[in-house]
Every structure is written in structure tokens, then in C-alpha cells.
Amino acid sequence: MRMQIARNVLWLVFERGLQVLFGIASVAMIARAVGPEGFAEFQYAQSLVLIASAFALICGNEVVIPRLVADQAPDAQHRLLAHVFGLREIAAVVGYVLVAVVVAMTEEDKVIVLVVIIIGIPILMREPFGAVRSWLQSRTDSRPAVVYGMAGLVFRMVAVAALYLAGMNSVPAFAWVIAVESVLYAALLARYYRQRSPRGTVDFDWSLARMLLRDGTVFWMSTMLMLCAKRVDQLLLKPHISLFELGSYAASMQILDNFMMLSAIIASSVAPMMIYAQPTLALVRRNVLRVTAGMVALGVAGGILIAYCAPWIIALIYGAHYEAAVTLLRLSAMASGLVFADAALSLLVIYLRRPNWLVEKWLLVLFTMVVVDLIAIPRYGAQGAVYGYIAGNAVAVIAGIGFFIRCREPVAVEQAA
């Protein structure tokens, strides 16, 4: 069993690593092809779509996977997955239509409007068909989903490279690559599940749907607040700076986001053995401190390295038109240790199954970032958004420390009960 879990984790880590490498390569070609202003339009549209995609997260893995594990009967699992898919698809349609209508009515840049409509198609595909991935995770067999994800990544790389080598500089053309990739991934997952699922129709059960919605609401709220916090900076920046400067800011944050993904990979890799498998809260707290110390050291060291190598990183990935991103990357790299610390401290909250604490944290983070951005952006431009990013992550760490202090043995007794 342990070997099966280890193989499953290795597959997930391998996929994350490929996502980082292929993501950097494809984004680099897109940025070079469309230039800073086109890249700003592309990234701004992605920010809007990312926030809208939170609608489709209404029944997250935190709710679905435990139920799949508890009832292994194929018919019961198929019934549950059908309801999860239906609820997610309805929510995804609402999110897609809402973002498309709002952008069409408020955005003057027609390129952004078109890119949002195209790049919003994955909202309808990723999370609804991701129910199959939840099913695979409940079986401790993520390999098929990882293989299909890699197939999508290969398609993206080949398509983006072909457009880049052909001299294409149209932002919507590159947006179509992202959209088609999501359709391909969803089709492969649906085909795999269809070959192994029970046949027959599933009658809609309102009581099951209400239970899934009720139990998943807190997790959904925390995820939506987190996604808003991750992208609110670009939404607040656009009215105050040029597209050229916004493109440089997006380029610097794209590099930082790929490095920060390492914090999630490390946290998810060490959590099963060092955190979740521990018998007492005292051992969990001790290990959380150890993991936090190690991850902070790694984050600070990586941030220093990124800051020192910023000129070469920007030149290598984006080319000569993104020099302004160097200063922004150096400044934002200062938050690396904070992000790694937050990822480690969040493991304790997940262990205790306290999603309401995550809602509190991300609400504080979002509020802090918005306040700092509204004050600093009109005065300092893109650097003001970096100040908001650093302040938001500092608040996240402070909240994590506060949760750590609040967690005592009575909480563990309550959890066991």
C-alpha cells in the first residue's frame, strides 16, 4: 500500500514538474511573439478567467474523495460522480457566461474581450471533467490523469512552437491553443472513465446535491478568495499603468508563480508521512515547525538566487523588450520565504480539517492586498502592486502563526471525536 501511495505521489510531482517546465517554455514563446502589450492582454484575460473558474470548484476534492473512498461500490461512485459533474458544469456555465458578459460590457479593448471568450472555454472543461481525476485519486492511481495531462502539455508546446516559428503575433491565436488543450484533456478523461463506468442513466437526487453543496461551500469560499487574492493585483493595475508596463509586471510574476509552485509540490509531498500520518497533535505541531523552517530556508535561498540572476532570467525567457521586469522580479522575490512559510503552516489547518480558518486567512489576505494596492499603485505603479503582494503574503504567514498558536490538544480531542 505504501508503495502504491509513493508511486501516486511521484506521478503527481512529475506532472507538476513538467507543468512548470512546459509552462515556462510556452509562456516565453508567447511573450516573445506578441510583445509586452500583447502579453499584458493575454495575462489580464487569464486573470479574469482564473477568478471566474472558481465557480466550477463548488464541489471540491475535499468533499468528493472521502465519499468515494468510503463507498467503493461502482454504482454508488458513478451516481456520486454524475452529480458532482452536473453541479460543477452548471456552476462552470454560470462563471463563463458571467465573465464573458461583464467583460464585453465593461472592457474597451476588443482583444481582451475575445481572448476572455476563447480562454474561458477551459472553465467548462477542467473542473467538471476533473471529477474523473477525483475518482482516480480515490483509487490511489493518478497515473492515467497525469499521462493525459502530459499529452495536453505536449500539444500545447508543439502548437505554441509552431505558431511562434511561423511568426504569428496574434494573441487570440495563442489563446485557442489553451482552449483546445482543455478540450483534449477532458475528452481523454471522459473516454477513460466511460470505458470503466457502469452503464445506465442516473436520476438527479436533490438531497445528494444539497449535501454536496452544503459540505463543499466553506472549501469553495476559501478557494475563491485565494484565486481573487492571486489575481486582484492585475485587475487593479490595469487602469493606472500602460499595457507595456503591465506586460513587464505580468512577466515578472509569471516567473515567481512558477517558483512558488515548488512550495505546493514540497508541501504535498511531505504532508502524508510527516503530518497526516502522525498520531498526536504534539507530533504534528513539531513536524510543522520543522517543515516550515526547512521551506523558509529554501524559499529565501531561492528568492535570493532569483533576485541575483533576474537580468539573465528575464533576458533568457522573455528577450530584450522586458527589461522593466528585472526590477519588479527582484522586488517580488523578497516574498519567496513568506510564500513557502504559508504553504508549510497551512498543513496544520488541513490536518485539523478547519476550512473556516482558511476562509478567515484568505479574506484577510485579500483585504490587505486590495488596501495596499489602492494606496500604493496610484503612487508607485507596478511596484505598488508588488508591495501589496508582499504585504498579503506577510498577513498570510501571520495568520498561519496565529492558527498554530490557537491549536492545542483540546482541538485534537474534538477532531478525534
249 in the same domain as 192: no
Can you give the pLDDT at residue 414?
A: 39
Q: Which region, left, alpha or beta, applies to residue 354 given φ > 0 means left and ψ of -120 to 50 means alpha?
A: beta
**Does 209 reside within a domain?**
no
Q: What burial letters (b/e) apply to 30-40, b meaning 16+ CB within 10 Å?
A: bbbbbbbbbbb
Cα angle for residues 75, 76, 78 (degrees, 5° grid): 65
**Rounded to the nearest 10 degrees, what angle do helices 206-237 and 382-406 cross at?**
140
pLDDT at 372 over 50: yes
81 in the same domain as 32: yes
Can you give the pLDDT at residue 417?
A: 36
- How many angstroms separate the CA atoms of 393 and 417, rounded? 34
**Does 195 reside within a domain?**
yes
pLDDT at 6 over 80: no
Q: SS3 sequence, 236-247? A: HHCCCCCHHHHH
**Does 319 reside within a domain?**
yes
What are the distances in angstroms from CA 130 to CA 70, 269, 285, 350? 19, 21, 33, 21
pLDDT at 409 over 70: no
Can you give the pLDDT at residue 59?
A: 85
Can you give the pLDDT at residue 39?
A: 92
21 in the same domain as 170: yes
**Does 323 reside within a domain?**
yes
Which positions ≥6 away from 313 have C-beta within 8 Å?
A: 255, 306, 329
- How many angstroms separate the CA atoms of 138 and 381, rounded? 46
Amino acid at residue number 198 = P
Task: Tally the domains of the chain.
Answer: 2
pTM score, two decimals? 0.84
283 in the same domain as 191: no
Average pLDDT over residues 229-241: 89
pLDDT band at 416; cut points 50, 70, 90: very low
pLDDT band at 123; cut points 50, 70, 90: very high
Domain end among 204, 222, 255: 204
100 in the same domain as 58: yes
179 in the same domain as 75: yes
240 in the same domain as 198: no
Can you give the pLDDT at residue 8?
A: 58
**Does 224 reside within a domain?**
no
| Residue 362 near residue 226, CB atoms below 8 Å | yes
Q: What is the CA radius of gyration of the chain?
A: 21
Per-residue pLDDT tens for 16-49? 777 778 888 898 899 999 999 999 999 999 999 9
**Does 348 reside within a domain?**
yes
pLDDT at 118 over 60: yes
pLDDT at 145 over 50: yes
Of the two residues 58 and 116, the one the predictor is more confident about is 116
314 in the same domain as 353: yes
Give the ranges where 197-280 is alpha helix by DSSP (H).
Answer: 206-237, 243-271
Domain end among 184, 204, 224: 204
240 in the same domain as 190: no
8 in the same domain as 102: yes
| Residue 339 near residue 393, CB atoms below 8 Å | yes
**Does 389 reside within a domain?**
yes
Average pLDDT over residues 105-117: 93
Domain end among 154, 186, 204: 204
241 in the same domain as 187: no
Note down the domain range covering 333. 234-417
What are the distances in angstroms from CA 361 to CA 129, 317, 346? 29, 34, 10
Q: In 3D, which of 389, 261, 415, 250 has the Cα closest to residue 318?
A: 250
Q: State the chain's mean pLDDT as an integer.
A: 87
**Does 221 reside within a domain?**
no
80 in the same domain as 118: yes
Average pLDDT over residues 292-300: 93
